[in-house]
């Protein structure tokens, strides 16, 4: 059996937080001297502005703790987990950007990292000049960049502006060109962190297609994303990280399902803590899933209608503010979005509730949730709930129950007309 492309053994990373108060070189030298002599370095009092200022006690933060896993050659491994789970720290260690505190990572093959897209771009240089400079930073030879230049520019979709300084680019144009450069590396191992979040929907689809192509070419890929649908499509196996450790590993779809179920916000009910929202102009105070009798439930028959009640607390919300709700499936994919612009009367009411009703006989059996947002489009997000009000559609004997195949997300009872009669 061949050696794995990546082997991580006992990997840990500790950061020291605090250590404020040493404002001069003398302070730093005396602090180091205390440490070398085995004294408590935090007992040192530095002279700042003629007075003594106590140094805050250093605190340890373990971003990674005893991480172990392997990635086989030619495998696409997904890495999922919430914010602060340690995913990005792990990838930075594997990319040799930072060193581990303990443990080791063995990597066999040339590595290409797509972590912070656009690192190395210079605002005064044109897109063309930045392609060559950024390609060199990412490990490509000038001849390699020249051979792939037309392909890179075509992929980015900004041919008309390639000789314009990038300081005049929009943020979308900037990341499109940066990703195009990084995506056209030819490493044996690719380490990818959340790059599918860049650009518009059409470009994200193009990025996903490029990643699928890379996977089919037999390269080893370590892929991090909060887009569960992308992880599910690209990765057969994944690891789930929580609080700096590998919590679980296995088939991607099973892992995603368990991860989403463990991160539900009060299941079918959500209520905000008002004390945490005192400085907000408006927020989502409550959200719950209801049946036709306005009773709170989490399981529904296919033939039943499902409603979600959304209660808002408003203070100084401007004209144009919108409340929106997106329905998501069990794989965290957005199915559709409905929005309501707040009227003048609603904005001034201070407290307002809405009932959003889904049609009967619409959703196929499976798990669903809502993503709810209160925002001024393209200007400000006042409150945002990523995944709340989880509920399940259960098929107790519909006309579709003869089949055990995948239903998709919708079971639409369309009208069929026989044109041959």
Q: What is the pLDDT of residues 368-377, one digit of tens each?
A: 999 999 999 8
Calpha distance 347→345 (Å, rounded): 6
Calpha distance 137→140 (Å, rounded): 7
Calpha distance 8→6 (Å, rounded): 7
Confidence of residue 348 (pLDDT cuts 50, 70, 90): confident
Query: Over pLDDT 90: what percentage of the chain?
Result: 24
Q: Which token pair is 305?
A: 């209608």
For the segment 171-191, the average pLDDT, to the nearest whole number, is 78
Q: Does domain 73-262 have CATH number 3.40.50.300?
A: yes
Q: Which token pair is 406?
A: 């995948």
Calpha distance 316→132 (Å, rounded): 49
Query: Half-sphere exposure of residue 210, counting CA atoms within 13 Å on the CB side?
Result: 23
> Per DSSP, which regions of 108-235 are E strands?
111-114, 189-193, 220-224
Calpha distance 348→279 (Å, rounded): 18
Numbered ranges of CATH 2.70.50.60 in the chain: 269-394
pLDDT in tens, 185-243: 677 888 887 655 555 666 767 777 777 777 777 788 888 877 776 788 788 899 999 88
What's the CA dihedral at 112, 115, 121, 126 to 10 degrees?
70
For the segment 15-30, the average pLDDT, to the nearest whole number, is 59
Burial 196-222 (b: 16+ CB within 10 A, else e): bebbeeebbebbbebbeebbeeebbbb
Angle between the 171-183 and 201-216 helix axes, to the nearest 10 degrees? 10
SS3 13: strand
Q: Is residue 395 predicted with pLDDT exceeding 50?
A: yes
At residue 205, the pLDDT reads 72
Q: Is residue 20 predicted with pLDDT exceeding 60?
A: no
Greater confidence (203 vs 128) lies with: 128
Residue with tokens 């004294």: 39
Would you list the DSSP string of 319-341? TT-EEEEEEEETT--EEEEEEEE
Average pLDDT of the chain?
Answer: 79
Numbered ranges of CATH 3.40.50.300 in the chain: 73-262
- Domain at 269-394, CATH homologous superfamily: abc- transporter (atp binding component) like domain (2.70.50.60)
């Amino acid at each position: 059996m061949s050696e794995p492309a990546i082997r991580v053994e006992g990997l840990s990373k500790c950061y020291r937080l605090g250590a404020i108060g040493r404002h001069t070189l003398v302070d730093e030298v005396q602090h180091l001297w205390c440490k070398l002599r085995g004294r408590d370095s935090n007992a040192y009092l530095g002279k700042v502005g003629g007075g003594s200022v106590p140094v805050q006690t250093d605190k340890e933060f373990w971003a990674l703790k005893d991480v172990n896993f392997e990635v086989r050659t030619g495998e696409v491994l997904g890495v999922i987990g919430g914010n602060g789970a340690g995913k990005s720290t792990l990838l930075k260690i594997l990319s040799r950007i930072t060193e581990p505190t303990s443990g080791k990572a063995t990597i066999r093959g040339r590595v290409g990292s797509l972590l912070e897209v656009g690192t190395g771009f210079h605002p005064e240089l044109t897109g063309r000049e930045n392609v060559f400079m950024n390609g060199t930073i990412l490990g490509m030879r000038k001849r390699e960049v020249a051979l792939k230049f037309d392909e890179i520019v075509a992929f980015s979709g900004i041919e008309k502006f390639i000789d314009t300084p990038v300081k005049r680019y929009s943020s979308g144009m900037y990341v499109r060109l940066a990703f195009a450069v990084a995506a056209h590396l030819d490493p044996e191992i690719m380490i990818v962190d959340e790059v599918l979040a860049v650009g518009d929907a059409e470009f994200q689809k193009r990025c996903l297609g490029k990643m699928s192509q890379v996977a089919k070419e037999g390269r080893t890929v370590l892929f991090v994303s909060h887009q569960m649908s992308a992880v599910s499509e690209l990765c057969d196996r994944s690891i789930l990280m929580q609080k700096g450790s590998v919590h679980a590993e296995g088939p991607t779809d099973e892992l995603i399902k368990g991860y989403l179920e463990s991160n539900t916000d009060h299941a079918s009910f959500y209520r905000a803590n008002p004390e945490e929202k005192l400085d907000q102009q408006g927020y989502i105070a409550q959200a719950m899933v209801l049946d036709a009798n306005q009773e709170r439930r989490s399981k529904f028959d296919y033939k039943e209608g499902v409603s979600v009640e959304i209660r808002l607390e408003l203070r100084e919300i401007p004209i144009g503010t919108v409340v929106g709700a997106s329905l998501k499936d069990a794989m965290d994919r957005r199915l559709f979005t409905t929005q309501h612009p707040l009227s003048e009367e609603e904005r001034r009411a201070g407290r307002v509730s809405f009932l959003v009703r889904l049609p009967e006989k619409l959703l196929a059996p499976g798990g669903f949730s809502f993503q709810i947002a209160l925002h001024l489009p393209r200007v400000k997000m006042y409150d945002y709930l990523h995944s709340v009000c989880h509920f399940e559609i259960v098929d107790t004997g519909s006309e579709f129950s003869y089949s055990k195949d995948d239903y998709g997300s919708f079971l639409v009872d369309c009208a069929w007309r026989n044109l041959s009669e």
